[in-house]
Amino acid sequence: MTTTPHFIDLLRHGQPAGGDRFRGVQDDPLSETGWQQMRESVHGMSDWDVVVTSPLRRCADFAAELSERLGLTVETEPRLAELAFGEWEGKSYDEVKQADPAAWQAFFEDPINNTPPGGENMTDFCERIDAVWDALVERLAGKHVLVVSHGAVMRVIYRRILNMPMSSLFSIEVPYASLTRIRRHPEGDRLVFHRSP
């Protein structure tokens, strides 16, 4: 009997309203462009058994629409929320970089030891995502799962699958509405593809 899912697909949300900026747990909806990006990313795909989503609107709204269209169960998982960026939330990347270039550079070079002011510690975040991943693959064993979440969430999962050091989290680009497929094997998980719409 299969004890693990055959596939887990990871879908990042599309562009949120208000353009590019640090959002973290700030709950902005998708822009019209973001809706289009996500619809294009999964166009022609319908073979999932269940959709699991972050509670934040930029993920959950699309997950609800897709699940209704395909007649699937959608589950909201609070632990799939994005990394909290503290005082950087709601600010554009240029605003943060210009206000404190040293903190900006330190975070992207060594996110483990350089938490944004008032933000979520990266080690704690990685432990949160590792725990939810373990729970999902055990509870949804044998099913084809679509997980709708965020860039940092997906990077932590890549780190695990590819056995990367946590210091390399930002070495992989995760564009809006990018889709990644992971094949589950008893002998180890494999990243099948990673694509943008």
pLDDT in tens, 133-159: 999 999 998 899 999 999 999 999 999
Greater pLDDT, 1 or 122:
122
**Does 47 reside within a domain?**
yes
Number of folded domains that form the chain: 1
Query: Cα(146)–Cα(177) distance, rounded to whole angstroms?
Result: 13
Answer yes or no: is 193 within a domain.
no
pLDDT, position 92? 94
Residue 1 resides in a domain: no
How many residues make up the chain in this entry?
Answer: 197
Identify the CA nearest to 9 among candidates 158, 153, 182: 182
pLDDT for the residue numbered 182: 95
> In terms of C-beta density within 10 A (0-12 exposed, 13-18 middle, 19 or more buried), how is residue 92 classed?
middle
From the list 153, 122, 121, the residue with the least C-alpha distance to 136 is 153
Residue 91's pLDDT band (boundaries 50, 70, 90)?
A: very high
What is the tens place of the pLDDT at every residue in 113-134? Answer: 999 999 999 999 999 999 999 9
pLDDT tens-place string over residues 6-50: 899 999 999 999 989 999 999 999 999 999 999 999 999 999 999
Residue 13 lies in a domain: yes
As a whole number of angstroms, the distance between CA 111 and CA 120 comes to 11
Indicate whether 2 pLDDT > 70. no
* pLDDT, tens digit, 9 for 90 and up, residues 41-88: 999 999 999 999 999 999 999 999 999 999 999 999 999 999 999 999
In-domain check, residue 35: yes
Residue 5 pLDDT > 70, yes or no?
Answer: no
Query: What per-residue confidence (pLDDT) applies to 185?
Result: 78
Does residue 99 lie within any of the structural domains?
A: yes
What is the reported pLDDT for 3?
A: 54
In a domain, 190, yes or no: no
Q: Which two tokens stand for residue 36?
A: 């289009």
- Whether residue 194 is contained in a domain is answered as no
Which CATH number does the domain housing residue 131 bear? Answer: 3.40.50.1240
- According to the 3-state scheme, what is the secondary structure of the chain? CCCCCCEEEEEECCCECCCCCCCCCCCCCECHHHHHHHHHHCCCCCCCCEEEECCCHHHHHHHHHHHHHHCCEEEECHHHCCCCCHHHCCCCHHHHHHHCHHHHHHHHHCCCCCCCCCCCCHHHHHHHHHHHHHHHHHHCCCCCEEEEECHHHHHHHHHHHHCCCHHHHHHCCCCCCCEEEEECCCCCCEEEEEECC
Point out which residues pair with 10 in neighbouring strands: 147, 180
Per-residue model confidence (pLDDT) at position 135: 96
pLDDT reported for residue 1: 38
What residues make up the domain containing 11? 7-185
pLDDT classification of 167: cutoffs 50, 70, 90: confident
